[in-house]
Structure 1
Amino acid sequence: MTSSFVATCVECDEERTARDPNEIVRFYRRHNSVTGHDVTWTETPDDFDGASKDVPSAVASLVSDPDEGVSLGALSAAMSEFGWTVGETLDAVYDHRMRGALWEPQDDYVSAV
C-alpha cells in the first residue's frame, strides 16, 4: 500500500508526488492555468477505492464529519478509479455545488447537502 499521491500531465509528462492529495489539486490548478492541460492520477493509496461514480454519493461516502467535508484531492483520487482526471472531478464538483447538491464547509473541501 502506498502512502503518497502521484499525478502526471499526459501531454507534457510533468509529474507531482505529494502526501497531501490537495497538493495535487494545487499542482493541477497551476499547471492548467499555464498550459491548459489536465492531470491524471497515476498512484493513490488503496483506501481511496470503492467510491461511487456519482459525485454527491462519493462525497457522502468519503465524509466522516459533514462540517469538515472531504478534501477535493481525496475526492479526485477516489474518482480516478473510474478514469476521471483532476479537472473532470473539479468540474463535476463545481456543477453539483451550483445545483445545491454539495457545499464547501472550508476551502478545497466539500460536503453533501
Structure 2
Amino acid sequence: MSTQDHAPYVAVCPECDVDLRTEAPNEIVEFYRRHYRVTGHDVEIERAQVDLAEDVANDGLKDVVWQLQDRYENGVPFGVVAAVMSDHGVSIGETLDEIHDVRMTGGLYEPQDDHLGAF
C-alpha cells in the first residue's frame, strides 16, 4: 500500500469520480479551485485529519479559526478550516466564500497565503 492510501486528506468529485489524496490540507483547496474552474463541479472532503473536529466546540467560521490558530505557527491552513466546516455540513466553496466575506469585515486575517488568523 502506498502512503497516499493512508493520506489524512481525501477529496472527491462525485460527478467525475476523480479524487485527490494528500498529506497537505491546502492541496484539497487547490484541487477544488482547479476542478471547479474547469468543470463547475463541487468537490467534497471524503476524509480529513480525524482529531480536528474534536478540538472545535463551535461551528462558526471565525470560532473555528480562533479555536485552531494556536496549533499553527503561521495561521490555520484553509484546507483545515474547510475540513472542519465540512464536518458541520458546509461545502468547500461555501467555506471559501465565507472566508472572503469575514476577511472583508475584518474578523479574519491572512498571516500568509491561504492561512487564517482570527482577531
Do the structures match in fold with TM over 0.5? yes
Shift of 1:66: 7.8
**Hey, what's the Cα distance between the residues in 2 that align with 1:72 and 1:81?**
14
Q: 1:82 aligns with which of 75, 88, 93?
A: 88
How many residues are paired up? 112
Gap runs ≥5 in structure 2: 1-5
Helix, strand or coil at the partner of 1:83: coil
Stretches (4+) displaced over 6 A: none
Where structure 1 has 5 or more consecutive residues not aligned to the other structure, the ranges are none
1:53 is aligned to 2:52:
no
- Percent identity of the aligned residues? 43
8 A contact 1:28–1:38 mirrored in 2: yes
Task: Provide the C-alpha distance between the structure 1 equivalents of 2:103 and 2:12, rounded to a whole number of angstroms.
Answer: 26
Q: Which has the higher contact order (CA 8 A, sep 6+)?
A: 1
Amino acid at match of 2:99: V
Correspondence 1:112 to 2:118: yes
Aligned to 1:4: 8
Q: Distance in 2 between matches of 1:41 and 1:75?
A: 12
